[in-house]
Structures are given as C-alpha cells and as structure tokens.
C-alpha cells in the first residue's frame, strides 16, 4: 500500500522516492501546498476508488495518515 501511495506522491514533490517515509509530513517535509494536497487526494480517490470527504482532508498530515485512511476505507 505505502509503495502505491509514495508512487503518487512523488509526482508532486521535489523529493526522491526513497526519501519519502510513512512519517513524512505532507506540507513540511514534502513541500506540498494546500492545493497540491487536494490534487493528491483526487489521485488517491481515483487509484483506490474511495471518497475522501473535504473535511477529512485537513486531518491527513503525514504519509502514514493517508495509508491508514485508505486501508480503513478501501
């Protein structure tokens, strides 16, 4: 799961794949803007066929949070 998540994230950050971990923070570590976060959420929704409500988005702070949300809702 985490590999798939990182594969998507890597397109939106200047970091290399192997520098992204479960603990990486989306905004501080990966340098994503608030709009980038929305775009990656859309990418996850399409990839995993789930829906992440708008209000849930602000609770997704780390790569681990995303993985956890997807695992619980897929």
Per CB under 8 A, residues contacting another protein are: 11-12, 14-15, 27-28, 31, 33-36, 38-39, 41-42, 45, 53-55, 58
Nearest distance from C-beta of residue 70 to another protein, angstroms = 16
Q: Which is nearer to another protein, 3 or 58 (CB)?
A: 58
Nearest distance from C-beta of residue 5 to another protein, angstroms = 17
Q: Which is nearer to another protein, 2 or 38 (CB)?
A: 38
18: exposed, middle or buried (C-beta count within 10 Å: 0-12, 13-18, 19+)?
A: exposed
For residue 37, count other CB atoms closer than 10 A to its CB.
19
58: exposed, middle or buried (C-beta count within 10 Å: 0-12, 13-18, 19+)?
A: exposed
């Amino acid at each position: 799961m985490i590999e798939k998540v990182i594969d998507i994230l890597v397109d939106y950050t200047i970091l290399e794949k192997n520098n992204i971990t479960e603990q990486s923070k989306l905004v501080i570590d990966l340098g994503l803007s608030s709009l980038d976060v929305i775009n990656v959420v859309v990418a996850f929704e399409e990839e995993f066929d789930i829906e992440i409500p708008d209000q849930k988005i602000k609770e997704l702070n780390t790569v681990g949070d995303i993985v956890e949300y997807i695992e619980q809702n897929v």
